[in-house]
Amino acid sequence: MAGSISFLKQVHRAFDEAATHTDLSPGLTKQIREANSVYQVSFPIARDDGRIEVIEAWRCEHSHHKLPTKGGIRFSTLVNEDETRALATLMTFKCAVVDVPFGGAKGGIKIDRRKYSDAELERITRRYAYELASKSFIGPGIDVPAPDYGTGPREMGWIVDTYRALTSGELNAEACVTGKPVGIGGIRGRTEATGRGVFFGLREACSIAEDMAELGLSTGLADKRVVIQGLGNVGSHSARFLAEGGASIVAVAEYEGAIHNPSGLDIEAVIEHRKDTGSILDFPGSTNLSESEEALELECDILVPAALENQITHENAPRIQARIIGEAANGPTTADANDILRQRGVMVLPDMYLNAGGVTVSYFEWAKNLSHIRFGRMQKRAEEASHRRLLEAVESASGAHFTDLEKDVVTEGSGEEQLVNSGLEETMLVAYHEIREIQKRLGDKADLRVAALVSAIEKIAITYSLLGIFP
């Protein structure tokens, strides 16, 4: 029943259930649950033909228990205050689950980006950044936006430039937003980080023989049949990494329809086909499904919704055949659908864990901006020299001789991208085992979503207690 209970109520319903598994006071629980501040703004922009249009936008800072707050900005016609609050709330828990030291936030502009020229989108983005700055809703130590649905590095570049113009001389201005192009303080690996994190999370879940046996699945990603909904940033990178990890992408759904090939789709070729033709449909060797939602119900092992919220509802949940749902999007499963899937024994890897790769690497980008130095710049060559000395010592002690190629491979030091990916992998693996352990402790009383929330709530409660606010 998508929309019958609001997105925010659904998030609160899951929170309330998780809170029953903690022994926190009602006052503290309420403080953790409610949004700290919400800014709604309407502003005029000039269309290219001279007409003036009034644009509605929001920014919600859900939790100030850690600063800055952090969360994406989306461009979508579905943006409203309820959605922005819900997404900001999820961000707070997401940051806590993966130990990223931020409170949660989210922003949105209510537009269909396809109906605006690039120049109009630039005017809208810059005006929104100006509105945020003038009300202190953006800043490296205040609130740091990032890309989300409908936005990317280009929009983040416009925001940095606007912020810099308004705060002349601020040394850390680049840290006011993450997901920027690398040339202006972005970090290698950020664009694909959410999809890479989805891959690490699913790979880890599928590597645990005991859990896979319960689902009636073999261990590992190899040959797992995957359906992807949404071939945007998160969906396309999730699909790429899953395919590289041995999974078979059997269907892809976009808003124009879906394509299906039980023997597997070449995901790079699908992306190229969409670039060339403007649609995923009519991809050679695949069958078109005219109703995009049909793809969610196809026979597969893993379903990855990577588009928008409220896609798996109480209506289609009974017909979903996947044994694992990897929530790459935020809020793709309604609370009612979640109950049905739980009863049916489907494993749901919750959004607040599975798509946390984006905010994790955003944290690395923010830290890089504050330190004003690229990760790996100081130690890469020193690491290589140290590995080379070690190899030479092994050669002289053993009489073995390594070729130059072998030496290069073994001694290579870590650059920014390797360090980012390593930090992301560590984060996703540690967090998965933390929430799995809580889920095992709670047994039938909790699924992984409740366990992730319990983990987050307990961590946030500790911060409040250390601050002396709720001793």
Q: Which residues pair with 43 in a beta bridge?
A: 55
Nearest residue (CB) to ligand NAD, 29 versus 330: 330
Helix, strand, or coil here: 307?
A: coil
Residue 135 known to be catalytic: no
Q: Give the position of tokens 């749902």.
A: 325
Hey, which residues does 288 pair with through a beta bridge?
259
Q: Which amino acid is at 347?
A: M
The total of other beta-carbon atoms located within 10 Å of residue 19's CB is: 21
Tokens of 410: 């073994």
Q: Look at residues 42, 40, 48, 56 and name the one whose alpha carbon lies nearest to residue 123.
A: 48
- The helix (H) or strand (E) run that includes residue 300 is none
Catalytic residue among 66, 106, 368, 380: 106
Question: Binding ligand NAD by CB under 6 A: which of 122, 148, 155, 192?
Answer: 148
- When binding is defined by CB under 6 A, the residue of 71, 157, 189, 230 that contacts ligand NAD is 230
When asked if residue 455 is in the footprint of ligand NAD (CB under 6 A), the reply is no
Q: Please tell me the distance from the alpha carbon of residue 47 to that of residue 373, in angstroms, as a whole number.
A: 40
Which of 306, 325, 446, 454 touches ligand NAD by CB under 6 A? 306
183-222 binders of ligand NAD (CB under 6 A) = 194
> How many chain residues bind ligand NAD (CB under 6 A)?
24
CB of 31 closer than 8 Å to CB of 89: no
Candidates 104, 108, 140, 150: give the one binding ligand NAD (CB under 6 A).
150
Q: How far is the CB of 235 from ligand NAD (least distance, A)?
A: 6
**With CB under 6 A as the contact rule, which of the stretches 18-26, 323-331, 373-381, 448-456 interacts with ligand NAD?**
323-331
Query: For 359, what's the count of Cα atoms within 13 Å in the CB-facing half-sphere?
Result: 34
Minimum distance between the CB of residue 345 and ligand NAD, rounded to whole angstroms?
25
Specify the stretch interacting with ligand NAD by CB under 6 A; choose among 129-137, 168-176, 247-255, 442-450: 247-255
Give residue 303's identity as a one-letter amino acid code: L
The DSSP-derived string for 259-273 is EE-TT---HHHHHHH
330 touching ligand NAD, by CB under 6 A: yes
Contact between 226 and ligand NAD (CB under 6 A)? no
Nearer to ligand NAD, 234 or 450 (CB): 234
Contact by Cβ (8 Å): 106, 59:
yes
Q: In this chain, which residue has its C-beta nearest to ligand NAD?
A: 232
Stretch that binds ligand NAD, among 223-231, 381-389, 401-409, 414-422 (CB under 6 A): 223-231
Query: Per-residue string for binding with ligand NAD, 352-371, x by CB under 6 A?
Result: ---x--x-------------
Q: Output the smallest distance, CB 269 to ligand NAD, in A.
A: 17
Other C-beta atoms closer than 10 Å to the C-beta of 227 total 27
Helix, strand, coil shares of the chain as percentages rounded to 5? 50, 15, 35
Residue 149 near ligand NAD by CB under 6 A: yes
Q: How far is the CB of 355 from ligand NAD (least distance, A)?
A: 4
Pairing of strands 143-147, 103-109: unpaired
Structure tokens at 426: 């560590």
Alpha helical stretches, state H, 103-152: 118-134
Which range, of 28-36, 282-290, 328-336, 412-420, touches ligand NAD by CB under 6 A? 328-336
| Three-class secondary structure of residue 260 per DSSP | strand
Q: Please list the active-site residues.
A: 106
Binding stretches for ligand NAD (CB under 6 A): 147-150, 194, 229-235, 253-255, 292, 306-308, 328-330, 355, 358
